[in-house]
Structure 1
Amino acid sequence: MTQAKNYSIVSIALIAMSALVALLSSFGTLAESLRILFISDPDQSGFASVFSGQIWRLLTPAFIHFGPMHLIFNLLWVWDLGMVIENRKGPGFYLSFFVVAAVISNVAQYLLTSNPFFGGMSGVVYGLFSYVWMRGRYDPAFNGIMRKATVNMMLAWFVLCWTGLLGPIANWAHTMGLVVGAVWAYLECKSLRLGQTSASLPANKVQSLEYFSTADILKAEALRSWVKDQYLPEARQQFDTIDGKLKIITAIIQQKGIETLPPHETQALEIVFADALVQETGLNWAVIDDDHQRTFILLKSGTPPLSFSLVPATRIAEAVKDGKLNELFQTSVQTIRNSQLPQT
C-alpha cells in the first residue's frame, strides 16, 4: 500500500476546466459563450440538442459557475472530498463517479424545472459528500469518517438553499447528487456485507476520527520539509527511503539534542518516524479532533480499523542515545503487524 497523495489528479482536472469556463464566460455573465455548454440549446426544447449528437451537454453544466464565490466554494469541496475518494478508490473510480453524479443531477434539474440556465459543481459536491459520509459511517476500513460539524453544515446549507432565501439555486441537482452518493455508498457497503460496527477507539474518540483535511496535509508537509531541509541539498533524495528517514532523525537528535528543540520540531521527528512506519506497513494517516486540538494518528485497515498513536519524540531520542533506533523501528513494525482487535 502506498502513502496517500496530498493531491488528486481528477480534482485538478475538474478545477482547471471549471476555472477555464469561468474565465471565458466572465463567471457566467456572458451567456452567449455558455450556449454550447448548457444542457439544452435555449432555442430548442427538451433534449433535442442531446438527441442530435451533442451528448456533452449532459455533463458540461457542472463546469459553469455564476460568480467567484460560487466557483471557489464548490471547488474547495471538490479538492477536499475528491482527494479522499481518489486516495481510497483510485482516479478511475473518481472520474466515473463524477460523470454519473453530474449527468444524473443535471438531467434531474432540467426535467423538473424545464430551465436550461443552470450550472455548477454543487450536485457533484453533494454526491461526493454523501458518498464519503455514508462509507465512513458504515465502513470503518474506508477511513473516511466525516466530522459531525461538517455534516451538519452541509445539510443545513442544503435546507437553506431550498427555502429560496439565497436566490435561484439548482436545488434538484443538489438533491439528486446527495441521493446518488448515498445510494452508491449503500450498494457498495451492502455488497461488502458491511454494517455499522464499533471501532477500536473509545466511543468519544470514534466520533472525532477524521481523514486528513487540506490544512492537516499542509501542516504535515511543512513539518516533513523542516526535517528534509537538514540534509545537504545533494543528499535530500535519501529522505525518500526508510533508512534515510531514520538516519536524518538520528543526526538531528545527536547534533541538536531533543531538549533544545521547540515543540513543532519534535513533532516533525514524530511525523517522519511515523512516515517510515507507513512506508513499511501500509498504515493510513488520520486525525483525532477533540475540539481542543487535532492529534495525528495512524490507522490499520480492517473492520473496524486499529489506531496507533505516534511514537513520542522522547522515546525516539532515548533509542537514538542508546544506538537502538532501528530496533525501536522494527519493534514498532512487529507490534503493528501482530496487532489484532480484542476478542469480545
Structure 2
Amino acid sequence: MQKLKPYSYTSIALIGICVVVALLSNLGESEEFLRTLFIADPDHPGLSDVLSGQIWRLITPIFIHFNVMHIIFNMLWVWDLGRRIDREKGARFYIGFVAATAVVSNIAQYVVSQSPFFGGMSGVVYGLFGYMWIRGRFDKSFNSGMRKETVHMMLAWLVLCWTGLLGPIANWAHLAGLLVGVVWAYLETRLIDTTKVANAPENINLSKKQNLVYLSSADILKIEAQRSWVREHYLPDARQKFDTVAGKLNIIDAILNQKPLAARPQQEQDSLEIVFADALVQETGLGWATIDDGDSRTLVLVTADAPLMIFGLVPAARLLSDNAKPEVAGAFAMTLESIRKMIQERATPVP
C-alpha cells in the first residue's frame, strides 16, 4: 500500500530558509538585515527596486516572520500541505506554485497597504489550501482534498484576521493567496475535464487504497435502487435482457434517446453510470468497492487480483459523442480497451 511520504524536500528547504531568516533578523527586529528582503526598501518609492532588477523582492517577503507563533503556525502548514501537494503534483509544480502565489500575494499586500513592512508564508499557505480545497471538491481523482472541518477553520481564521483583533496582519496577502489557489485549481480542473481521454475511467491514485473499504449495506441498497430505475425502462417481457452486457447497454442507449442527458436530474445520471459500471464488471471481472475519505463515500471498481487497481466510474456525460447523440456501445468498447490496457501495463514487469 502506497503511503503519504512523511516529508517533502521542497518543504524542508522552505522551512529551512524561513528559520535562517528568522534567526538572522531576530524575528524581524533587524530592519537593516531585512531591507534587501522586503518587497521594497523603506526609503525607496513604489516598486522602483524591483523595476531596477531586484526581482527577488517579489518573493522574499514570504521568508520573513515576526514572532515565534507566526513562524510555527506557518511552518506546520507548509509541512503538512507541502508534502501532500508534492506527492500529488511533484516538486516542480510545488516550487512554481509557491513562487507564483508569493508574487501575487506580496504585490497585492504592498499595493493596498503602501507599506513594505510585512512578511510571512501565510499567503502561500492559503494558496495551497485554496488549491487543494477546490481540486478535491471538483476532481474525484485528486487524493488530497480538504476536510470540511479544516475548510471551516481556515475560512474562519481568515475572517478573524480581518477583524483586527489579532493585531496587524497581511490580510490582503492571505486573500490574494487564497484566490490564486482557488482560481488555479478551478481552471486546472476544467482543463482536465476537457482534455481527459474520452470515455476512459481514471485509474485512481493508489494512495487511496488506505481508504478502500467493502460496500456497506447502505451502499448496496443505493446501487440496487439505481439499477431498478434503469430496469423499469424495459418492457416487462424483455427485462431478462438486463442480465446481459448488450442488454444493459441497449437500455442506457434507449434512455438517452428518450430525454437529453442535460435535462435529467443527477440521480438519473448516477443510475446510468452504475449500470454502465455493472456491464464493465460483468465483462472484465472487476469488483465493486468504495473509498471513504471521512466526509463522503465514492463508489469505484477494483481489480480482483494483484496488483490492485482502482477505477472511477465513467461519468454519464462521457456516454455521449461530441454531437450529443448517444454512442453507448462505442463508449463501452473504448472504456473496456482502456481498462484492459492499464491492467496489462501494470501487471507487466519492468525489465
Change (3 A) 1:36 1:137: same
Aligned letter for 1:166? L
1:5 equivalent to 2:11? Answer no
Aligned letter for 1:113? S
1:70 equivalent to 2:64? Answer no
Aligned letter for 1:120? G
Aligned to 1:74, the other structure's residue is in SS state: helix
Is this contact kept in 1: 2:39–2:61, CA < 8 A? Answer: yes
C-alpha distance in 2, partners of 1:167/1:89?
A: 35
Instruction: Give the drift of 1:333.
Output: 1.7
Match of 1:205 in 2: none
Aligned letter for 2:34? L
C-alpha distance in 2, partners of 1:211/1:337?
A: 13
Match of 1:37 in 2: 37
Is this contact kept in 2: 1:145–1:211, CA < 8 A? Answer: no
Instruction: Give the drift of 1:145.
Output: 2.4
Change (3 A) 1:2 1:46: same
Match of 1:306 in 2: 300
C-alpha distance in 2, partners of 1:31/1:105?
A: 21
Match of 1:333 in 2: 306
C-alpha distance in 2, partners of 1:307/1:148?
A: 26
Cα distance per residue 1:81-118 (max 9 Å; x no partner): 11111101000000000000001000010011110000
Match of 1:271 in 2: none
Q: Tell me which structure has the larger Cα radius of gyration.
A: 2
Is this contact kept in 1: 2:123–2:178, CA < 8 A? Answer: yes
1:150 equivalent to 2:150? Answer yes
C-alpha distance in 1, partners of 2:95/2:310?
A: 36
Is this contact kept in 2: 1:77–1:125, CA < 8 A? Answer: yes
Cα distance per residue 1:38-73 (max 9 Å; x no partner): 000011010111111111111000000010100000
Task: Give the alignment's TM-score, normalised by structure 1.
Answer: 0.59
Cα distance per residue 1:154-180 (max 9 Å; x no partner): 000000001111111000000000000
Change (3 A) 1:185 1:343: closer
C-alpha distance in 2, partners of 1:82/1:140?
A: 20
Correspondence 1:192-203 to 2 at 5 A: 192-193=192-193
Aligned to 1:192, the other structure's residue is in SS state: helix
Is this contact kept in 1: 2:162–2:171, CA < 8 A? Answer: yes
Match of 2:175 in 1: 175
Aligned to 2:69, the other structure's residue is in SS state: helix
Change (3 A) 1:339 1:187: closer
Aligned to 1:37, the other structure's residue is in SS state: coil
C-alpha distance in 2, partners of 1:118/1:211?
A: 41
Match of 2:105 in 1: 105
Is this contact kept in 2: 1:211–1:287, CA < 8 A? Answer: no
Match of 1:119 in 2: 119
Match of 1:60 in 2: 60
Aligned letter for 1:182? V
Cα distance per residue 1:237-256 (max 9 Å; x no partner): xxxxxxxxxxxxxxxxxxxx
Change (3 A) 1:305 1:122: farther
C-alpha distance in 1, partners of 2:103/2:315?
A: 46
Aligned to 1:46, the other structure's residue is in SS state: coil
Instruction: Give the drift of 1:288.
Output: 4.2
C-alpha distance in 2, partners of 1:46/1:211?
A: 51
CA-atom RMSD in angstroms: 2.9
Instruction: Give the drift of 1:306.
Output: 3.2
Instruction: Give the drift of 1:132.
Output: 0.4
C-alpha distance in 1, partners of 2:33/2:125?
A: 24
Is this contact kept in 2: 1:123–1:174, CA < 8 A? Answer: yes
Instruction: Give the drift of 1:30.
Output: 1.5
Task: Give the alignment's TM-score, normalised by structure 2.
Answer: 0.58
Match of 1:160 in 2: 160
Is this contact kept in 1: 2:299–2:312, CA < 8 A? Answer: no
Aligned letter for 2:306? V
Correspondence 1:40-51 to 2 at 5 A: 40-51=40-51
Which consecutive unaligned segments of at least 5 residues does structure 1 have?
195-208, 213-285, 291-298, 309-329
Aligned letter for 2:51? F
C-alpha distance in 2, partners of 1:74/1:338?
A: 35
Aligned to 1:306, the other structure's residue is in SS state: strand
Is this contact kept in 1: 2:123–2:175, CA < 8 A? Answer: yes
